[in-house]
Amino acid sequence: MPSRRLRADTLASPSPVASTTAEDLTSAITVCWTRRPSVSVLARVITAASLKLWEANVGAHELGMSLLKRGASCADVTHAVNGFFEDRDLLQYRSFGYGHSFGVLSHYYGREAGLELREDIDTILEPGMVISMEPMITIPDGQPGAGGYREHDILIITEDGNENITQYPYGPAFNVVGG
């Protein structure tokens, strides 16, 4: 199988940052959804501001994954990730909730509305639940590091924590190649 890592030197345009996701291709390539649902940053040059924002989003992602365990509530996980972003003055750039359940037919169809990582969902996580962790921040055009930053993994809640079934590296250390 060919490498799915990005090569910065193969991009057609020097635009600052673009975000892409396999979500648009889910109906055509459902199998790929569990392998790597999103690419976090696509850019010719990773600026210091972009790298700082990307690493902050990775930090929020890792915090969130560490909190996805038996007995945690969706709201408590959300508040903790909100606090992480707030401490870095990034909460205002959060785009949507931090994760969701998965349906029986696809990532969307058959989803449980009560298993969303949002402030208003008090569902307690239990073993066997399948949930994503996918924080995203979007920095407006004209600001340093403008663009979208997103990490995404799918996890199964276990008796003693969680199992990450995505098993694909994320963040700048792996996903930036060349320059």
Q: Residue 105 corresponds to which amino acid?
A: L
Other residues' Cβ atoms within 10 Å of the Cβ of residue 16: 19
pLDDT one-digit tens code per residue, 11-54: 333 333 434 344 433 333 333 334 445 544 555 568 899 999 99
pLDDT of residue 123: 95
Q: Residue 85 corresponds to which amino acid?
A: F
C-alpha 121/C-alpha 118 separation (Å) is 6
**Along the 179 residues of the chain, how does pLDDT read in single tens digits?**
344 433 334 333 333 343 434 443 333 333 333 444 554 455 556 889 999 999 999 999 999 999 999 999 999 999 999 999 999 999 999 988 899 887 665 555 556 778 889 999 999 999 999 999 999 999 999 999 999 999 999 999 999 999 999 988 888 888 777 65
Q: List C-alpha distances in Å: 76 to 32, 69, 70, 116.
A: 30, 11, 12, 12
Residue 67 backbone dihedrals phi, psi, to 5 degrees: -90, -10
Other residues' Cβ atoms within 10 Å of the Cβ of residue 168: 15
